[in-house]
Structure 1
Amino acid sequence: MSEIQSDPWLTIVGVGEDAGLTPAALAAISRAEVVMGPPRHLALLAEVLAETRAEIKPWPVPFADGVIKLMALEGRRVVALASGDPFWFGAGSVLADRLPQGAWRAIPGVSVFSLAASRLGWRLEGTICLGLHAAPLTRLALHLAPGRRLIVTLRDGAAVGDLAEYLRAADFGATVMHVMEALGGPRERLRSVTAETCALDDVDHPVCVALEPLGEALPLATGRPDTTFDNDGQITKRPVRALTLSALAPRPGEHLWDIGGGSGSIGIEWLMCDPLMRATAVEADPARAARIRSNAAALGMDRLQVVEGRAPDALDGLPAPDAVFVGGGLSQALLDRLDTLAPGARLVTNAVTLESEALLARAHAERGGSLLRIELSDAVPLGTRRGWKSGYPIVQWSVTL
């Protein structure tokens, strides 16, 4: 293990709205040749910075431009200012990922989540904390449930109205919103409203909102209702989807290929299992590919990668999968291509047609695995009574390659 430098060129300092700094942070700023930070933070520390000889550089917009300018300062003694705790939905990890260990150190301040929880008396370890200042509000979809508590950061005051509108559209209009501005500083303000009645038009930045959701949550079990996903009929139906995901056996951090994505339901539910999951949906039809993206975004799973193309050709260059689901476009050429994957990858494929069923029967005979026939019937009106209406039987082959 390499020894960490005692005096790296970059110090990342967390700044709160009260402009209070630890002795270590003050010492780092006093020794700095350059102090770089957002204009708001530079203004908060104006008195401290006036006593230094450091060159003051405002952080530009967009944020990425500032990262480039900061990296160009390597070799000088630099302090980068960030909000609160730089490593909790802050700039810290972005900067640290660009530098070797030992080239930087961090002096965190109090995070906005800690301040918000302390104002409300909430147990922080039991509260979901999300950084939505640079992410879509749809990331909330999987977390909204009665009895839960959430704290989310937002980009600006106008985003509070956007959040209320999102909650109303999701039938969570009764949700209590604790709107908190400039926590920890002289401008601090806390107001509580419901999403249904929210009409705040004077919210100042920086802002976070604590939520107490009220509404109907998405089910936790795999096999969500088919109505969860916009579709044109090309969807793995709920009971079969549950059996398919069980066979795929997702584990944290794994990558799925969802081939013949249709509505994207398999790939999206795979991602819902854990924040570390990764998935790529491959779909030949452009309209369906667009629908997959829309479904993923609406459910907060916008990290789903969608590839337009027909397998097996569209698989070239994709990151290797840990599991593969074939929901459409099954062919001998595709099975042969999947045979080239690294040993240990799990394959699950569903067949409805006789031709596809014959392919799976032959593949099962040659490669082993499990072959399952799924037959489902729904109760439907039959005259004045009811009877069973059978769906097409589905043959599911699952195997470890």
Structure 2
Amino acid sequence: MIDVVGIGDDGWAGLDEGRRGLVAGAATLLGGARHLDLVAEHAAPGAALVAWPSPLRPALPALLEEVGDAVVLASGDPLRSGIGSTLVDLLGPDRVRIHPAIGSDALARARQGWSAEGSSVVTTVGRDLRTVLPHLTPGARLVVLCSDGEDPARLGALLTRHGWGTTTLTARWHLGGPDEGAVAAPAETFTGATADLVVCCLEVRAADPATVAATTGVVPGRPDDFIDHDGQLTKRDVRASALARLRPTPGAHLWDLGAGNGSVALEWCLAADRATATCVERDPERAGRITANAATLGLAGRVEVVLGDTTTTDLAALTTPDAVFVGGGLDEGLLGRAWDSLRVGGRLVAHAVTLEGESALIGVRARLGGELTRLSLEHARPLGRYLSWTPARSVVQLATTKDTP
């Protein structure tokens, strides 16, 4: 059994009687050097104090097998970007007991006077700082967990580049401990490093509301230039229709087959927290552009790109999808393989712009059921001194849900 004890920056003084008993009675204490130093004088005589190896994850199984029962020290809430989550994933919940302390995010909210339901926590620990970008909306209150004391200035610069420079950025460090400190400034003027163990509190404001209004929020249908593209993408109005039927949900996984520049997959991820996607695209330049767009939008790690043709890619080797979008390379065989891969309750949406593609959708609907829709759009465009309706290429859309295995 592994007992994971949360400890704050106040060390032994902040532990309650139960957590003190676990630490003082442990034959083996595992943790970072800083945590071990905080409790070393209170450890049992002869207890082994073992600092984490580096890199940690590859060495964990052998280390845990060697020590057997042990007490692990972790910062604050061990399940908030902490070792507790790693241990539960590795050993299962029956072999890990969590004894949390007040986390740095809760302490930061307390200092700010923010309610839990009126704010959100974003971790950038060990992640790209751009992870914060999907959470930026006017009026949002964000608690951002940072990796080191350089991150607040980097975060301020990032916000400024994306039009959020008037956001109030408050950096707080060593929360709850004797060295606690804070500094606040607009993101566009925030400079200099702070101490480590830092949390940034953001009261989000847009320097140019008109610039950011079109790209914020979770509702799909962003302007086509929300990503870098070469013109090969599902256009805004058609994309919004597709995503309305794909129904992004938190943590759900999408396949975007024949992804082009990845607009559907990227908006899928932006529409729901923790949503992920696998894009299959045969053009190397477009595949690389999807990866770059994902990073720019703060979605690095949530979008996998597979370089290959949809007709030859081994779909069975991909993460099982909750939804599938087919926007390119459409044929009945591909739709059948995608359908077979879907979870029960999964959604399939496919678009066709050719007569051959339309015929394939009609055939699939005859077998699988679903809704066929023809999308015909016209946009007002200049015609001399006047405006005239200019039609776009019509799109036939099939949307269906898998009700049985």
Partner SS for 1:321: coil
What's the counterpart of residue 281 of structure 1? Answer: 279
Q: Secondary structure at the match of 2:188?
A: coil
Deviation for aligned residue 1:237: 0.5
Contact 1:256 1:267 in 2 (8 A): yes
Report what 2:209 is aligned to: none
Query: Deviations for 1:11-39, whole angstroms, at most 9, x for unmatched residues?
Result: 21111111122111221122111112111
* Distance in structure 1 (CA, Å) of the matches to 2:341 and 2:78: 40
Letter in 1 for 2:323: A
Q: Deviations over 1:324-378 (max 9, x none)?
A: 2110011243234345446654322111223323333444455543222211111
Match of 1:117 in 2: 109
Q: Give the structure 2 partner of residue 23 of structure 1.
A: 17
1:320 aligns to what?
320
Aligned to 1:235: 233
Q: Distance in 2 between matches of 1:44 and 1:66?
A: 24
Q: In angstroms, what is the RMSD of aligned CA positions?
A: 2.1
Matched, 1:310 2:309: yes
Secondary structure at 1:320 match in 2: coil
Task: Check conservation: 1:30, 1:52, Cα contact below 8 A.
Answer: no
CA change 1:254–1:64 in 2 (3 A) is closer
Distance 1:247 1:102 in 2: 39
The equivalences for 1:45-84 within 5 A come to: 45-49=39-43, 52-65=45-58, 67-68=60-61, 70-75=63-68, 77-84=69-76
Partner Cα separation in structure 1 for residue 92 and residue 372 of structure 2: 50
Whole-angstrom CA distance in 2 between matches of 1:253 and 1:134: 20
Tell me by how many angstroms 1:238 deviates: 0.6
CA separation of 1:54/1:318 partners in 2, compared to 1, >3 Å: closer, same or farther?
Answer: same
What is the identity, as a one-letter code, of the residue corresponding to 1:208?
A: V
- Map of 1:2-401 to 2, 5 A cutoff? 9-19=1-11, 20-49=14-43, 52-65=45-58, 67-68=60-61, 70-75=63-68, 77-201=69-193, 203-215=194-206, 216=212, 218-302=216-300, 303-314=302-313, 315-338=315-338, 340-341=340-341, 345-365=346-366, 367-400=368-401
| Secondary structure of 1:145 counterpart | coil
Where 1:133 maps in the other structure, the secondary structure is: coil
- The answer (yes or no) to whether the contact 1:157–1:204 under 8 Å persists in 2 is yes
Question: What residue identity is the alignment partner of 1:221?
Answer: V
Q: Bigger shift: 263-272 or 173-182? A: 263-272
Residues in 1 aligned to 2:33 and 2:350: alpha-carbon distance in whole angstroms: 55
Letter in 2 for 1:305: E
- Maintained 8 Å contact 1:253/1:276: yes
Deviations 1:36-67 (A, max 9, x none): 21111122224324x63211111223232552
Q: TM-score when scaled to structure 1? A: 0.91
Residue 32 to residue 148, structure 1, CA distance change in 2 (3 Å): same
| 1-structure distance, mates of 2:133, 2:21 | 44
Q: Distance in 2 between matches of 1:35 and 1:242?
A: 53
Instruction: Sort the Cα spacing of 1:337 and 1:114 in 2 relative to 1 into closer, same or farther, 3 A.
Output: closer
Letter in structure 2 aligned against 1:16: G
**Does the CA contact (< 8 Å) of 1:312 and 1:337 recur in 2?**
no
Structure 2 CA distance for partners of 1:260 and 1:113, relative to 1, 3 Å: same
- Asked if the contact 2:137/2:217 (under 8 Å) is kept, the reply is no
With structure 2 as the length reference, what TM-score do the two structures score? 0.90
Distance 1:185 1:367, change over 3 A: closer
Q: Indicate the SS of the match to 2:238.
A: helix
How many residue pairs were aligned?
Answer: 390
Aligned to 2:85, what secondary structure does the other structure show? helix
Moved more, 242-251 or 132-141: 242-251
Amino acid at match of 1:98: L
Note the residue ranges of structure 1 that are not aligned, 5 or more in a row: 1-8
Question: What CA deviation, in whole Å up to 9, does each residue of 1:289-319 have, x standing for no partner?
Answer: 1111122222222312221111132123223
Kindly provide the amino acid, as one letter, of the partner of residue 271 in structure 2. Answer: C
CA contact (8 A) 1:321 1:345 kept: yes
State the alpha-carbon separation in 2 of the partners of residues 109 and 139 from structure 1.
26
Query: In structure 1, how many angstroms separate the alpha carbons of the residues matched to 2:197 and 2:331?
Result: 55
User: How much does 1:283 deviate?
Assistant: 0.8
The offset of 1:172, in angstroms, is 0.8
SS of structure 1 residue aligned to 2:15: coil
Alpha-carbon spacing, 1:368–1:72, altered in 2? closer, same or farther (3 Å): closer
Does structure 1 conserve the Cα–Cα contact (< 8 Å) formed by 2:119 and 2:142? yes
Q: Which moved more, 1:291-300 or 1:185-194?
A: 291-300
Identity %: 40
Deviation at 1:251, TM superposition (A): 4.3
Residue 323 (structure 1) shift: 2.3
| Paired letter, 2:46 | R
Give 5+ residue unaligned stretches, structure 2.
207-211
In 1, the alpha carbon distance for the partners of 2:125 and 2:171 equals 14
- The structure-2 alpha-carbon separation of the partners of 1:240 and 1:100, relative to structure 1 and needing over 3 Å to count, comes to closer
Matched AA of 2:319:
P
